[in-house]
Structure formats: C-alpha cells, structure tokens
Amino acid sequence: MRPSGRAIDALRPVFIQPGFAHHAEGSALIRMGGTEVLCAATIETRVPSFLRGKGQGWVTAEYGMLPRATHNRGQREAAKGKQTGRTQEIQRLIARALRAVVDLKALGEISVTVDCDVLNADGGTRCAAITGAWVALRLALEKLVRNGTLPALPIKGQVAAISCGLTDDGPVLDLDYREDSTASADANFVLTADGGIVEIQGTAEKDPFTEAQFNTLMRLARTGTAELFRIQTAIVEEALKA
C-alpha cells in the first residue's frame, strides 16, 4: 500500500552495530532502511563553564550529514563556514532527549558529547540519531562504571524516537524520504520506555491538522518505539557480554 510496500504501522528494518567508531568510549552505527547514522559518545572529565563547580555533569550532541548522504550533494557545512538552522535545531533536540534520561548529578563533573553523523539519508535521520545515540551513551557510561569512575549507571530511562506523518495513505509510521517530502504533516515523537513523553514536534507542512489526527500519530509512535526499545536492549546486552 505504501510506496515501500510496508504496512501503515511497520518500521523499516532496523540494524544497530555497536563499536563502529574504534576510539569512542561508546558508539553505534544505526540503520533504519536506507538511513544510516554513526553515533559516537565521547567522555571528558570537564564541564562547560556555566556548570563549573556545581557538582553535576552535562550531555550534549552534535549532528552532521556527509555532503553526499543525500540524493543531490549538499554543500559541506565546514566549507560553508557555518551550520544550517536545521542542523542546529536537530543537535539541540538530540541533546535534550539524552539529558532527559541522564541523572546529571549522579554523573558528576563529567561531560558526554554524542556525535551523530549521517552517512546515508532516507528520511528520519534525527529520530535514528536519537535512538542510536542512546545506545552509544549507554555503552560509554557503562565504561565509567566498569573502571570504577562511577558507582552506578547515571541513567534514569531509555529513550528512542520515531517520526509519523499524514500521507496520501493516511497516518503512517516511520516515513522514508519519499513519504516525508510529500506528507501534509509530520511529527517526531521522543518517548521513554516507561511511557513518558520527552519531546513532541508536530508540524503542518501544508494545511493545519486536527487533534484527532495528531492522536493517531501518537498511537503509531507508541507502536514504533516499543519495537525500538526491544532492539536497543538486545544490542546493549549483547555488546556488554562481548
């Protein structure tokens, strides 16, 4: 029915490969269909100046897209000399999502930076980034527990994200690029495994939408993230065994 043949409430095939970035304290390459994001978490024993001496840590994120991750080559942000508004919006979103599930007091004066770089793009890159970033963060923080820096994991919850949208096929889960570019509205949901809402961003791309439509999208998002939480958990368990 959908251009990809997927059911209304079906995710694309999800694959997460931990450890892709050799030097990072934690990393994960996440693939959702044709979208591929490399998430690498860096631990540093210092905090931004506004937090110095406050006995708490910080989690931040940066986002980038390789110039040819897309159908047409985009200009390299480093060459252009600045990050687009879209890039900044996305990296602020990823960082907020991660901070919502980290106990910054328990982290102590440590900062974690998660770099999310899109190697291939086919829609949903910001959601894939959040889902992969949680895995990278989780693995990196585990190291701090294993080497005795922290007594326990400073993680309060498990976070994942998915996009839903109103297309010609009605409300659907996990839009690919083709669907995303023609949807009349789309929404990104950042949810936690215990049912909490971390962030909702719903946008009418063409015409305003109704509250009923919005609620349908939220139902779909619950379905999708439930599956993502299962995959994250399995990958982390496997990686920690290794």
Query: Which residues are near a second copy by CB under 8 A?
Result: 20-24, 27, 34, 38, 40, 42, 44, 62, 64, 66-71, 73, 76-89, 91-92, 96, 100, 113, 115, 117, 119-122, 157, 187, 191-192, 194-204, 206-211, 214, 218
Say which residues have a Cβ less than 8 Å from residue 43's Cβ, sequence separation at least 6: 25, 110, 111, 112, 140, 143, 144
Q: Determine if residue 92 is labeled as part of a ligand binding site.
A: no
CB-nearer residue toward a second copy: 86 or 230: 86
Q: Determine if residue 126 is labeled as part of a ligand binding site.
A: yes
CB-nearer residue toward a second copy: 1 or 92: 92
Q: How far is CA 145 from CA 5, 188, 212, in A?
A: 44, 32, 45
Minimum distance of a second copy from residue 68's CB (angstroms): 4
Q: Determine if residue 165 is labeled as part of a ligand binding site.
A: no
CB-nearer residue toward a second copy: 204 or 231: 204
Structure tokens at 109: 């004066």
Coil, strand or helix at 165:
strand
Name the residue with tokens 């989780």: 138
Minimum distance of a second copy from residue 97's CB (angstroms): 9
CB-nearer residue toward a second copy: 175 or 237: 175
Say which residues have a Cβ less than 8 Å from residue 183's Cβ, sequence separation at least 6: 165, 166, 167, 175, 205
Q: How far is CA 45 from CA 27, 64, 88, in A?
A: 18, 24, 25
Per the annotation, binding residues are 86, 124-126
Per the annotation, binding residues for phosphate are 86, 124-126
